[in-house]
Amino acid sequence: MGTLKISVIRLLCGDGSLMSVTTAPPSDSTEPQTSHDSTAPGEEKSRGLLELRSVFNDIEETAAPLVASPPVEKFLITVIVVVPLIACGYGGYRLGQYGLMSWLDLGLLLGGWYATGLGITVGFHRMLAHRAFDATGPIRYFWMALGSLAIQGSPLMWCAVHRRHHQCSDKPGDPHSPHLHNGGVWQIIRGFLHSHTGWLYSPYWTDPRLKKFIPDLMVDKQALAIDRFYYVWIAVSLALPALIAGLVTWSWHGAATGFLWGGLVRACVTHHITWSINSVCHVFGKQDYQAGDASRNNVIFGFLAHGEGWHNNHHAFPNSARHGLKWWQFDLSWVLIRGMERLRLARNVKVPAANMLSGRRL
């Protein structure tokens, strides 16, 4: 097997390096086997939840130190973090000074936020990273494409880092825990900032051990196809709203404002909502279930992040397609997954059984 080099260039643009790596598919014992509809007994429903957790726990860590990220990678991360933030500030200034925002721009902003955000929550997170459900070929491509448009990393990179997070949640080795900086107030602030954006500058992107977390995706032709052309999805993500606005208004000014609101500002909003799950939802909120970490259920981000804010529920039952486990915990991602299941576009949908919920409730 060749040496795998995972880099921030891969995270932002995609370089095809993952295509050269091959690995054996995961054994049948790690494949989730139960679905939302097909198995009624609680014991059977819970099996899939425990099996994927065993995938995380069985991955061996080595003592080899991580290699520091090269300056060029840190520069690229700075661009992807700072430029949308500047655009967001400029957009706020225009609103405050001139009140300039058309209904078209608002629609591009909100529509892009919902679409790409759901691409992350439904596609990258629940479908790929946790295998909480399976989807038919075209539907699977659709969700992976939407997730790639969010500009939060290629499918393989995103899932590798996320699976590592679950294996080491709030413990040494967690890529983005806010609780690994012990000390006074400054250390608390430092930990929070690290979990929000600082972790992006860590050397995890160049750590070849990350491939151990995605053996199933390394032989997934659909995921590899989306991953290989990730840079195309970045270009589409920024160009499409500009194109739509330019054609609707038939003006360069319309294209520019579409690029601002539907491209850069939308990217900033989705970035910080997603990153707040790593930071805010491991500090502020309520714990309803035993999860072995500091994950919290946060009402605000339960809504803003399409159900991801019910984070303690997720860490307690990581392979569940449903994160809002109480009737009032609205989970838009689950609504869509359940709808796809009813339309036979999704199958093997995992949810925790009643006995699992009661057994882990605090």
Model confidence at 209, pLDDT cuts 50, 70, 90, reads confident
The lowest-confidence range among 14-18, 165-169, 259-263 is 14-18
Burial of 205 (0-12, 13-18, 19+ CB in 10 A): buried
Average pLDDT rounded to a whole number, residues 340-357: 96
pLDDT the model gives residue 188:
86
pLDDT digits (tens, 9 = 90+) for 174-184: 999 999 887 77
pLDDT the model gives residue 16:
33
Longest CA–CA span in the chain (Å) reads 60
pLDDT the model gives residue 5:
34
Q: Is 132 left (phi over 0), alpha (psi -120 to 50) or beta?
A: alpha
Coil, strand or helix: which one is 193?
A: helix
The rounded distance, in Å, linking the Cα atoms of 212 and 344 is 32
Q: Helix crossing, 221-228 with 137-149: angle to 10°?
A: 30
pLDDT the model gives residue 184:
78
Report DSSP letters for 108-172, one per residue: HHHHHHHHHHHIIIIIIIIIIIS---EE-HHHHHHHHHHHHHT-S--HHHHHHHHHHHHHTTTST
- Of 103, 97, 88, 147, nearest in space to 123 by CA: 147
Q: Are 159 and 124 in contact (CB under 8 A)?
A: yes
The structure's pTM equals 0.83
Q: What angle do CA 321, 180, 54 make, to 5 degrees?
A: 35
